[in-house]
């Protein structure tokens, strides 16, 4: 936006990042895991997932496609604001993007991250990425505020319903069917701080947000697929790292498949609610590893795609971005979903960028 009335000079779209070349893999993994106590065996194993596919993660290309799809939709809504990609763990790094924007005189920035739920890794750490980048700018004053997570976004719900219904239609002849909604596991200590209520009502908004989403998605998808009974579902976790003695959210998707097989389930539908695009954690952990687990037990898997390219999701996200970018006539205030110590990692003390919330 160029007119003086505009609130922001650009929208910074924050991605996790990923390697795009074999030479980038080790540096990427070192950045992700610096100071996090990830065992070397786990790191070697995860490195293998990237090298097997030529040392490239699809995540950056997927985020570029999402950015283009959103930019088109913002333009169609008459919101003339640039969407600029910036990553935590691979170029273009957040600090470099903010420095570039500052050099261009674009110093009032709105940020949104490609992560829908509240937790340290999926929300606050992105605010830290921004906070540290701002601190490094020395000289220029940049104002950046991050949008809160969007677990209730109508298009997130609708896209998950539509994609799950399509898979359920194809499985309607199955005898015993179970839906496993999967999301990234977290150390239980970080799950406990997820959300603004951390320390007061026990936190773990991360799990609660995703459970609430799946609760809405499964019955409606079953109805649209014409199933006579609503299939059972469980929220399960994937991609655990960290040392074995540190507790993380469970059950792991592979263990859940084992339990299901033991209980006579013949078909498992895997719904990756925790992620927006089919990046390496989705494709390796679900399409390779979990699928192998299931095959070994005689269980058939049916994987639902992630929502990142679904028009209902993109339309709805564009509406949300447009509302924030124009502020829909309201003054920016402190974030309701992101306030104080919400999503804090008690082991880490870093500057954080502010968060905004539409009242």
Q: Please tell me whether 21 is known to bind a ligand.
A: no
Q: What does the alpha-carbon distance between residue 153 and residue 24 come to, in Å, rounded to a whole number?
A: 34
Stretch that binds ligand HT9, among 114-122, 139-147, 149-157, 220-228 (CB under 6 A): 114-122
Separation CA 26–CA 45 (nearest Å): 12
Residue 32 as a binder of ligand HT9 (CB under 6 A): the answer is: yes
Q: Are 266 and 175 in contact (CB under 8 A)?
A: yes
Report the residue from 10, 11, 18, 63 that binds ligand HT9 according to the rule CB under 6 A. 18
Residue in 56, 87, 119, 326 binding ligand HT9, rule: CB under 6 A: 119
Q: Based on CB atoms, which residue is closest to ligand HT9, 33 or 316?
A: 33
List the one residue from 6, 7, 38, 227 that touches ligand HT9 (CB under 6 A).
38
Closer residue to ligand HT9 in complex, CB, 189/297:
189
Which is nearest to 85 in space by CA: 141, 18, 134? 18
121 annotated ligand-binding residue: no
Count of residues near ligand HT9 by CB under 6 A = 24
- With CB under 6 A as the contact rule, the residue among 158, 204, 281, 315 that binds ligand HT9 is 281
Q: What gap in Å lies between CA 249 and CA 237, rounded to an integer?
A: 7
Distance, in Å, from the CA atom of 42 to the CA atom of 44, rounded to the nearest integer, reads 5
Whose Cβ is closer to ligand HT9: residue 18's or residue 131's? 18
Is residue 230 within 8 Å of residue 164, measured between CB atoms?
no
**Closer by beta carbon to ligand HT9, 70 or else 265:** 70
Question: Least distance in Å: CB of 339 to ligand HT9?
Answer: 20
Choose the binding region for ligand HT9 from 31-39, 133-141, 258-266, 288-296 (rule: CB under 6 A). Answer: 31-39
In the complex, the smallest distance separating the C-beta of residue 20 from ligand HT9, rounded to whole angstroms, is: 10
The residue (of 261 and 275) whose beta carbon lies closer to ligand HT9 is 275
Residue 221 beta carbon to ligand HT9: minimum distance, rounded to whole angstroms: 23
Q: Can residue 124 be called a binding residue for ligand HT9 (CB under 6 A)?
A: no
Does the annotation flag 259 for ligand binding? no
Please give the residues from 163 up to 222 whose contact with ligand HT9 meets the rule CB under 6 A. Answer: 184, 186
Which pair of tokens denotes residue 139?
Answer: 């000289």
User: Is 166 annotated to bind ligand?
Assistant: no
User: Which residue among 20, 24, 25, 57 contacts ligand HT9 (CB under 6 A)?
Assistant: 57
Among positions 227-266, residues that touch ligand HT9 (CB under 6 A) are: 239, 241-242
Could you say which of 279, 291, 303, 310 contacts ligand HT9 (CB under 6 A)? 279
CB 120, CB 192: distance < 8 Å = no
| Residues of the shown chain interacting with ligand HT9 in the complex, contacts defined by CB under 6 A | 16, 18, 29, 32-33, 36, 38, 42, 46, 57, 59, 115, 119, 121-122, 184, 186, 239, 241-242, 274, 279-281
Annotated binding residues, written as ranges, equal 57, 126, 184, 281
């Amino acid at each position: 936006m160029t007119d003086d009335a505009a609130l922001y000079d650009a929208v910074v779209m924050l991605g996790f990042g990923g390697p795009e070349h074999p030479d980038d893999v080790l540096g990427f993994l070192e950045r992700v895991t610096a100071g996090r106590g990830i065992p070397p065996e786990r790191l070697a194993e995860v490195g293998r997932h990237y090298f097997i596919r030529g040392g490239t993660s699809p995540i950056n290309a997927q985020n570029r496609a999402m950015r283009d799809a959103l930019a088109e939709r913002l333009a169609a809504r008459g919101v003339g604001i640039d969407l600029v990609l910036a990553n935590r763990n691979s170029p273009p790094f957040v600090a470099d993007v903010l420095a570039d924007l500052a050099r261009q005189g674009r110093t009032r920035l709105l940020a949104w991250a490609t992560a829908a739920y509240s937790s340290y890794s999926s929300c606050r750490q992105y605010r830290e990425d921004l906070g540290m980048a701002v601190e490094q700018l020395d000289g220029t004053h940049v104002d950046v505020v991050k949008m809160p997570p969007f677990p209730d976004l109508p298009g997130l719900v609708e896209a998950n319903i539509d994609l799950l219904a399509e898979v359920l239609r194809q499985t309607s002849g199955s005898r015993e069917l179970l839906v496993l909604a999967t999301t990234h596991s977290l150390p239980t200590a970080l799950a406990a701080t997820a959300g603004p209520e951390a320390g007061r009502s026990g936190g773990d908004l991360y799990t609660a947000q995703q459970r609430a989403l799946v609760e809405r998605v499964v019955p409606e998808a079953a109805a649209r697929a014409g199933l006579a009974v609503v299939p059972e579902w469980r929220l399960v976790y994937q991609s655990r790292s960290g040392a074995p003695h540190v507790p993380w959210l469970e059950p792991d998707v592979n263990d859940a498949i084992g339990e299901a097989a033991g209980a006579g389930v013949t078909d498992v539908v895997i719904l990756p609610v925790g992620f927006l695009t089919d990046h390496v954690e989705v494709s390796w952990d679900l399409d390779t590893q979990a699928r192998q687990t299931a095959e070994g037990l005689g269980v058939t898997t049916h994987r639902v795609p992630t929502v990142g390219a679904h028009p209902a999701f993109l339309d709805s996200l564009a509406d949300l971005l447009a509302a924030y970018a124009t502020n829909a006539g309201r003054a920016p205030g402190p974030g309701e979903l992101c306030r104080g110590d919400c999503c804090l990692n008690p082991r880490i003390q870093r500057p954080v960028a502010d968060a905004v919330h539409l009242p």
